[in-house]
């Protein structure tokens, strides 16, 4: 079992990483008599919900649940209202604990509902997808999408705990697993060249779900994110380095319709676009570009954007990105593998050229 601490004073919490954690809820921060509501989706409920309910009832935990439709297209205010309606109908108060049992969509929606229900209740993240285990369940970013932009409605709201059980990855579709690999590769490019090299050397082990490699990889990603979140909780400084490729990727997701491109697929293309800008803007070495593109392709991720999108389509969404200041795009640009920075002085034509090349 591995543990990573997010240090935020009185709001600090622990990420626990191992296999089999959902077979024994003694590892969960719950005690007899607690009242919880599990939020999950239709796919996961049919596979796991009955077992979890049985374990909770044996531990004398009072449990309700709400089952949501599965998919990014349901990550919206209407779905949050459904969670809040269930809480109210079943007379849940401020002592209730929400449990987000699912991937990034469930985690983001549940966290946002926890942030706004009766001005804030506790919630626990139990991420079941690779993307959620290495990234979205950690750091307190919660929210939903708007038709004009991804994650435009939300709050920074930290969980009380994150329980990462690698066993859930055994039932994850291959495309979803590759989507999570994009975020893992992002960490190496943006923050840690040694980790990038480790991914290159161990990608084949990850893709066959070798447990030691998975646990190490998840822990490393959580440690990298923890170091940034602890010093920049609200994403106004260096935490933004974790958004490498995201400004482009979010544009793809919004334009194409949420769920048609998986998040990691869109981020993969966004990373390549950021690399193409870096080649022109900061003399990013072509040998580094080739390593990145090769690794993304080995992970079964796309490196070219949707044929339906023009550069203007991208820009119309990108200008609404949360990192934009005074209508000036701010992009994360790699300087070398493992080193990146935020730039707001990139000529528009460079951005257009990079988009057009992909």
Binding residues: 70-75, 104-108, 128-129, 141, 150, 183, 246, 263
Binding site feature residues for Zn(2+): 183, 246, 263
CA pair distance 297, 303, nearest whole angstrom: 7
Backbone torsion region of residue 186, taken as left when φ is above 0, otherwise alpha when ψ lies between -120 and 50, otherwise beta: alpha
CA distance 230 to 45: 33
Q: 44 pairs with which residues across the strands?
A: none
Joined tokens for residue 158: 């930290």
Asked whether the beta carbons of 38 and 101 are under 8 A apart, the reply is yes
User: 265-302 in b/e burial notation, b at 16+ Cβ within 10 A?
Assistant: bbbbbbbbbbbbbbbbbeebeeebbebbbebbebbebb
Which residues sit in the known binding site for NAD(+)?
A: 70-75, 104-108, 128-129, 141, 150
116 alpha-carbon distance from chain centroid: 20
β-sheet bridge partners, residue 149: 146
- Integer Cα distance of 177 and 223 in angstroms: 20
Burial class (CB in 10 A: 0-12, 13-18, 19+), 119: exposed
Q: Which helix (H) or strand (E) holds 209?
A: none
Residue 7 φ then ψ, to 5°: -90, 105
Helix boundaries (H) for 90-210: 104-116, 130-131, 174-191, 193-207
């Amino acid at each position: 079992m591995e543990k990573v601490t997010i240090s935020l004073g009185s709001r600090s919490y622990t990420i626990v990483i191992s296999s089999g954690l959902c077979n024994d809820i003694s590892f969960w921060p719950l005690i007899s008599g607690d009242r919880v509501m599990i939020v999950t989706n239709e796919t996961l409920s049919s596979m796991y919900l009955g077992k979890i309910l049985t374990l909770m009832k044996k531990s004398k935990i009072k449990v309700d649940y709400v089952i949501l439709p599965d998919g990014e297209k349901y990550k919206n205010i209407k779905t949050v209202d459904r969670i809040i309606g269930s809480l109210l109908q079943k007379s849940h108060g401020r002592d209730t604990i929400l449990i987000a049992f699912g991937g990034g969509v469930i985690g983001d929606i549940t966290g946002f509902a926890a942030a706004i229900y009766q001005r804030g209740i506790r919630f626990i993240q139990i991420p079941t997808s690779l993307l959620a285990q290495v990234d979205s369940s950690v750091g307190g970013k919660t929210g939903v999408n708007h038709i004009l932009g991804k994650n435009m409605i939300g709050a920074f709201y930290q969980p009380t705990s994150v329980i990462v059980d690698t066993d859930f990855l055994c039932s994850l579709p291959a495309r979803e697993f590759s989507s999570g690999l994009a975020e893992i590769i992002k960490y190496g490019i943006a923050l840690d060249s040694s980790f990038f090299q480790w991914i290159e050397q161990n990608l084949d082990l990850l893709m066959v779900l070798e447990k030691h490699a998975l646990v190490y990889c998840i822990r490393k990603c959580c440690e990298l994110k923890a170091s940034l979140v602890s010093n920049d909780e609200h994403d106004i400084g260096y935490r933004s380095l974790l958004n490498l490729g995201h400004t482009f990727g979010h544009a793809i997701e919004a334009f194409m319709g949420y769920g048609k491109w998986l998040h990691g697929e869109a981020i993969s293309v966004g990373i390549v676009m950021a690399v193409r800008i870096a080649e022109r803007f900061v003399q990013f070495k072509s040998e580094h570009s080739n390593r990145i593109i090769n690794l993304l392709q080995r992970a079964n991720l796309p490196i070219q954007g949707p044929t339906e999108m023009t550069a203007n389509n991208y820009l119309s969404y990108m200008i609404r990105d949360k990192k934009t200041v005074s209508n000036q795009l701010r992009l994360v640009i790699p300087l070398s593998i493992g080193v990146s920075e935020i730039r707001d002085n990139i000529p528009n034509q460079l951005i257009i050229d990079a988009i057009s090349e992909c």
